[in-house]
Structure 1
Amino acid sequence: MATIDVYNHGVPAESAFGYSQAVRSGDLIHVSGQLSLSDSGEFVHADDFAAQLRQTYVNLDKVLDHFGVTRNQVVSQTLYVVDLQRNSEAIMKGNPAYFGDHRPASTVFGVTELTFPGQAVEIAFVVDMKLPA
C-alpha cells in the first residue's frame, strides 16, 4: 500500500479552492503550483516577475522541507508564465540560481493570465524521494 501524506501552508485559498499544496503518494511528491504568497496567504510582488520568482521558490522550499527532501530530488517542474517573451531572461537567471547544477525536466507554458491581478508566474514540481539528496 502506498504511503500518502498531504501538506498545506495553512492559507485560506487551500480550503476555498479545495486543494492541497502537495501530496506524497509512495515515493513521489506532487507539488501544486506555487506562487508568490506571503506566510499569511497574501499575494505579494504584483507585476515584479523576478521578485515573484524568488518568493515562489521560497514557498517551494517550504514544501520540500516538510517532506525532508531537497531540490536535487525534483525530477520535473512546470512553469506557467504571463508574458513569456518578456520574462524569459529572468527565468534563465532564476532557474539555475535555484537549482545550481541540478537539471530537472522542465516545461514552460506562456499563459494569458493567472489567479491574481499582477501574478506572472506559478510553478509545480514532481519530486522523487528515492533520489539522492
Structure 2
Amino acid sequence: MKTLKKQTNHLTLIMMLIMLITIQSCEQKTKEESKIIEKETPEYFLLRPEVEKAYGYSHAVKIGNSIKISGAVSMDDEGNPTAIGDLAQQMKNCYADLDKILKHYGCTFDDVVKEDVFTTNMPKFLAAAGYRTEIYKKQFPTGSWLGVKELAIPEFMIEIELEVHKSN
C-alpha cells in the first residue's frame, strides 16, 4: 500500500511538472507569435503610382522576410508599351524595373527565390534567355516559363514576376 501511495505521489509530481512546463511553453509561444505578427505588417511599394492605381495593383508587397513582386512589363512611366516587337529588349526593360524594386527593399537578384516568366512568344524568349546569366550571377531561382496567348496590352511580349526572401 505504501509503495502504491509513493508511486501515486511520484506520478502526481511528474504530471504537475509536465503541466507547468507546458503552460510556460504556451506562454513563450504566444509571446513569440505576437512578435512575428508585429513584424509581418505588409509594406507596399508602387514603382509607377499613377499607372498601378489605374490598373489596380501594387508592384510589390513585403511581409516579414518575403517580398512578392508583380509581373514587370516593358513600359514607360505613363504606362505605354516600349520596345514594341523586340522581346529581347522588353526582357531587359523588365529586369531593369525589377532591379529598381529589389533595390528599394535592399535586395539584389541573389535574393530572388522564384521567377515566373510569361511570354507570348516562347521561341523568341528561349533565344534571348541567355541574358538571364547577366542577371543571376550566383544561382538561378526556381520558377516557371509559361507561353501565354496574350498579356494585359497586346504589345507586351513578356512579363516577369518574382518572389524574394530577404535574409536578416
Summarize the Cα distance change of 1:47–1:88 in structure 2 as closer, same or farther, 3 Å threshold. same
> What residue is the counterpart of 2:44 in the other structure?
6
Structure 2 unaligned blocks of 5 or more: 1-36
Summarize the Cα distance change of 1:11–1:43 in structure 2 as closer, same or farther, 3 Å threshold. farther
> What residue is the counterpart of 1:28 in the other structure?
66
In structure 2, how many angstroms separate the alpha carbons of the residues matched to 1:63 and 1:89? Answer: 26
Residue by residue over 1:49-91, the C-alpha shift from the partner in whole angstroms, topping out at 9 and shown as x without a partner, is: 0100000000000110111111100000000011212321211
Report if the CA contact (8 A) 1:30-1:127 is conserved: yes
> What residue is the counterpart of 1:102 in the other structure?
139
Structure 1 unaligned blocks of 5 or more: none
Secondary structure of the corresponding residue to residue 108 of structure 1: strand
Report the Cα offset of residue 12 of structure 1.
3.0
Normalized against structure 1, the TM-score is what?
Answer: 0.90
Q: Which has the higher helix share?
A: 2
1:116 aligns with 2:153: yes
Report if the CA contact (8 A) 2:81-2:155 is conserved: no
Compute the RMSD of aligned alpha carbons: 1.4
Aligned residue pairs, count: 130
In structure 2, how many angstroms separate the alpha carbons of the residues matched to 1:90 and 1:11? Answer: 30
Q: Residue type of the partner of 2:92?
A: R
In structure 2, how many angstroms separate the alpha carbons of the residues matched to 1:52 and 1:4? Answer: 30
Report if the CA contact (8 A) 2:51-2:78 is conserved: no
Report the Cα offset of residue 11 of structure 1.
4.2
Q: Which has the higher strand share?
A: 1
Report if the CA contact (8 A) 1:34-1:122 is conserved: yes
Q: Residue type of the partner of 1:61?
A: D
Q: Residue type of the partner of 2:161?
A: A
Report the Cα offset of residue 117 of structure 1.
2.2
In structure 2, how many angstroms separate the alpha carbons of the residues matched to 1:61 and 1:39? Answer: 16
> What residue is the counterpart of 2:162 in the other structure?
125
In structure 2, how many angstroms separate the alpha carbons of the residues matched to 1:41 and 1:9? Answer: 11
1:53 aligns with 2:95: no
1:83 aligns with 2:121: yes
Asked which structure has the greater RCO (Cα within 8 Å, sep 6+), the reply is 1
